[in-house]
């Protein structure tokens, strides 16, 4: 059987993000946001994934032959695709975005613009007063590295000559210098004083470029360009057994800033001789070179000022109240009465905060247990847990410090919670805990749980599509308690009847569910599978889906990102893959197996990736409540009917638009789901 390469597949997802920046039906600031997302995604991709291939290339020829692919060939293909995407990115920005901004009287100036004297005076003063204190210009010497390029920072590199009045015919020696753009101290975009009907904005980069003569007195400026270096940020401590894991993580996070180069972005207008000098000065290899445009770090466009806000933006949807939960003065009284599903960001996250806050102050609550993977910087959840501890409750929090790029934040909250008297279970040395669950004990007999497909993070809950589940089901909570026992004693082994747990036969249980559909179709029973996730990579699962397809099981896959399953082949003819990119990030994981009409339904913290099934503690939770099962199925059917923001992934990794017949209405699933949830809330 064949499989797509996971990273080439991911690049097609990021291209789908770029397509949204081209969508002229979107307000201009939404399109700018998608440029920022594309750029941010690509940065992380290079920092995490490229080093993996470089490590494989460093293997001996004998060991390389054991691989199912050529790391060199994959790297070449990645570079080719990225260069093409970057080129299109630049064309969208220059030809579409800037033009549309100008139509709305928002002018993004650059150093070559016709800047009037009024603005020139402001720019010079701003540079001298606000920018100059943070500027450090460094002359480069190809024989000695005099400056270390920081990860993600933008630099202006300058070619210059010493001024000479005596002998003008003498061949002048050229020098090279670099300047770090201080965008960590000063906003990247500066609004200029209003003088006419237009709003003028300028890059911080260009304010510096317009004042280079101040930085280099005694030199003539020949040419200048922007560069950016991304460094390897991938480190894995899951397999570490010895030593202090917390200290190892702290050291690894610090080393991330000085990781090996993995991408050197440079202005494609830069002459070869200039680039050669930079390669020597910064020890950059050809494999790290990626052509870019005049500007880098487009992730900064998340903060691009909109002087006409809220115009030129999508109207924000008012979050939906859950009328059944609102009937009760206490969240515990509500859960005691029934089970509830919340669908974020359509529903308010306030109910989750209420769950933790009530747990903190209710006199009958004796204990709270929860997991922490990525929380908001000013986390309301953590504040509630600290309040609970101060109120005499027993509070236990498993903190997964190895959440990539959130290690510092998690270490900070770990110390804060520990000082408040909370019992902390830190990262386990051999596995990553990715499950999202909380249990509140209210007296001896009452136990309530909240399970989620996404993090306990009130900020991302406004941006990510996730599902949350309140339950008092004793059988489920009994097994969730066993997971917490495992956190405290990883040598324990459990058999789970209801929930699926990573490291505890999760893969085997999912394979069993698929096998059951194969058996049913053989017996001429209706059979289908709907799986929604962020990534599908596990070869055993994919092979079983291929087998189910060959036997006649109808399979719909909603896969946002990585998808290694190849559709439209003889062995996958009954499999359809849909990718949805819209105003919210699709993040929920839902698995439905028809099971002869029973519609076995699960929500999950896990994608069907090898790492999630083998090296993480993940939770897959069954939904037994028929009303809630029907609700989930209806939502997935709406997504499967999307003909506006959905794309069909084909056998060549293309995101294919869905043709809409003349008589059919346009369906944008996220908007239709919002309407659906409002309707059932009446």
392: left (phi over 0), alpha (psi -120 to 50) or beta: left
Burial (CB < 10 A; 0-12, 13-18, 19+), residue 316, is: exposed
Q: Name the DSSP letter for residue 259.
A: P
From residue 570, alpha-carbon distances to 257, 547, 549, 550, 573 in Å are 47, 11, 9, 8, 5
Rounded (to 5) percent helix, strand, coil in the chain: 40, 25, 35
Beta bridge partners of 229: 264
Taking a C-beta distance cutoff of 8 angstroms, is the pair 587, 606 a contact? no
| Angle formed at CA 332 by CA 331 and CA 334, multiple of 5 degrees | 65
Q: Which two tokens stand for residue 190?
A: 């500066």
Query: Residues near 413 by Cβ (< 8 Å), separated by ≥ 6?
Result: 372, 375, 379, 382, 399
Residue 613 phi/psi, 5-degree rounding, is: -85, -25
Task: Name the strands in the sheet holding 154-162, side by side, starting at the edge strand that comes first in the sequence.
Answer: 137-139, 174-180, 154-162, 219-231, 261-267, 289-292
Alpha-carbon distance of 82 to 79, in angstroms, equals 5
Q: How many CB atoms lie within 10 A of CB 276?
A: 11
The beta-strand segments (E) located in 254-310 are 261-267, 289-292
Burial (CB < 10 A; 0-12, 13-18, 19+), residue 44, is: middle
Peptide bond between residue 47 and the one before it cis (omega within 30 degrees of 0): no
Establish whether 434 is a catalytic residue: yes
Alpha-carbon distance of 75 to 82, in angstroms, equals 10
Beta strand 219-231 with 261-267 is antiparallel
Alpha-carbon distance of 18 to 42, in angstroms, equals 11
Candidates 200, 322, 434, 594; catalytic one: 434
| Angle formed at CA 648 by CA 643 and CA 649, multiple of 5 degrees | 160
Residues taking part in catalysis: 434
């Amino acid at each position: 059987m064949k499989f797509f390469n996971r990273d080439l597949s991911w690049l097609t997802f990021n291209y789908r993000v770029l397509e949204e920046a081209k969508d002229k039906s979107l307000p201009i600031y939404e399109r700018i946001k998608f440029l920022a997302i594309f750029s941010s995604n690509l940065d992380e991709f290079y920092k995490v994934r490229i080093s993996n291939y470089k490590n494989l290339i460093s293997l001996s020829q004998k060991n390389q032959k054991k691989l199912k692919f050529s790391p060199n060939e994959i790297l070449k293909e990645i570079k080719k695709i990225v260069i093409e995407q970057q080129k299109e990115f630049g064309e969208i920005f220059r030809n579409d975005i800037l033009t549309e901004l100008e139509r709305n009287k928002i002018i993004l100036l650059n150093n070559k613009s016709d800047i009037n004297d009024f603005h020139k005076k402001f720019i010079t003063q701003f540079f001298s007063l606000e920018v100059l204190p943070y500027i450090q210009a460094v002359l480069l010497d190809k024989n000695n590295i005099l400056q270390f390029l920081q990860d993600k920072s933008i630099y202006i590199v300058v070619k210059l000559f010493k001024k000479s009045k005596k002998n003008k015919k003498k061949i002048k020696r050229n020098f090279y210098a670099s300047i770090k753009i201080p965008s960590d101290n000063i906003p990247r975009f500066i609004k200029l004083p209003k003088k006419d009907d237009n709003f003028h904005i300028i890059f911080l980069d260009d304010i510096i470029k317009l004042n280079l003569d101040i930085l280099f007195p005694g030199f003539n400026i020949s040419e200048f360009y922007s560069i950016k270096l991304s460094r390897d940020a991938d480190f894995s401590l899951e397999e570490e057994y010895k030593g202090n894991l917390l200290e190892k993580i702290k050291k690894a996070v610090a080393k991330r800033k000085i990781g090996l180069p993995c991408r050197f972005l440079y202005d494609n207008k830069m002459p070869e001789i200039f680039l050669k000098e930079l390669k020597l000065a910064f020890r950059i290899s050809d494999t790290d070179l990626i052509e870019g445009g005049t500007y880098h770090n487009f992730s900064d466009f998340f903060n691009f000022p909109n002087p006409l806000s809220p115009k030129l933006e999508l109207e924000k949807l008012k979050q939906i109240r859950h009328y059944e939960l609102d009937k009760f003065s206490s969240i515990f009284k509500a859960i005691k009465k029934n089970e509830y599903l919340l669908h974020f960001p359509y529903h308010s996250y306030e109910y989750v905060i209420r769950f933790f806050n009530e747990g903190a102050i209710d006199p009958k609550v004796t204990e709270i247990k929860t997991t922490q993977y990525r929380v908001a910087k000013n986390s309301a959840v953590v504040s509630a847990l600290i309040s609970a501890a101060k109120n005499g409750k027993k509070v236990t929090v498993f903190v997964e410090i190895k959440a990539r790029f959130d290690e510092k934040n998690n270490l900070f909250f770990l110390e804060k919670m520990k000082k408040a008297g909370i019992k902390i279970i830190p990262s386990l040395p051999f596995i990553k805990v990715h499950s999202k669950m909380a249990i509140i004990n209210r007296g001896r007999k009452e136990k309530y749980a909240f399970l989620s497909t996404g993090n306990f993070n009130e900020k991302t809950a406004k941006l990510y599509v996730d599902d949350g589940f309140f339950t008092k089901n004793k059988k489920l909570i009994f097994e969730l308690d066993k997971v917490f026992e495992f956190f405290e004693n990883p040598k324990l082994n459990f058999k789970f009847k209801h929930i699926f747990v990573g490291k505890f036969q999760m893969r085997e249980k999912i394979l069993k569910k698929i096998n059951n559909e194969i058996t049913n179709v053989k017996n001429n029973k209706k059979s289908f599978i709907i799986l929604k996730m962020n990534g599908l990579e596990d070869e055993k699962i994919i092979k079983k889906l291929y087998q189910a397809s060959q036997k006649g099981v109808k399979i719909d896959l909603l896969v946002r990102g990585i998808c290694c399953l190849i559709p439209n082949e003889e062995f996958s003819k009954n499999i359809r893959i849909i990718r949805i990119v819209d105003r919210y990030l699709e993040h929920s994981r839902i698995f439905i197996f028809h099971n002869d009409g029973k519609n076995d339904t699960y929500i999950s913290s896990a994608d069907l990736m090898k790492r999630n099934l083998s090296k993480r503690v993940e939770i897959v939770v069954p939904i037994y409540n028929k009303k809630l099962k029907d609700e989930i199925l209806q939502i997935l059917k709406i997504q499967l009917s999307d003909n506006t923001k959905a794309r069909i992934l084909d056998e060549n990794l293309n995101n294919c638009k869905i043709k809409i017949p003349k008589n059919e209405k346009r369906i944008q699933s996220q908007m239709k789901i919002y309407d659906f949830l409002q309707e059932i809330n009446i």
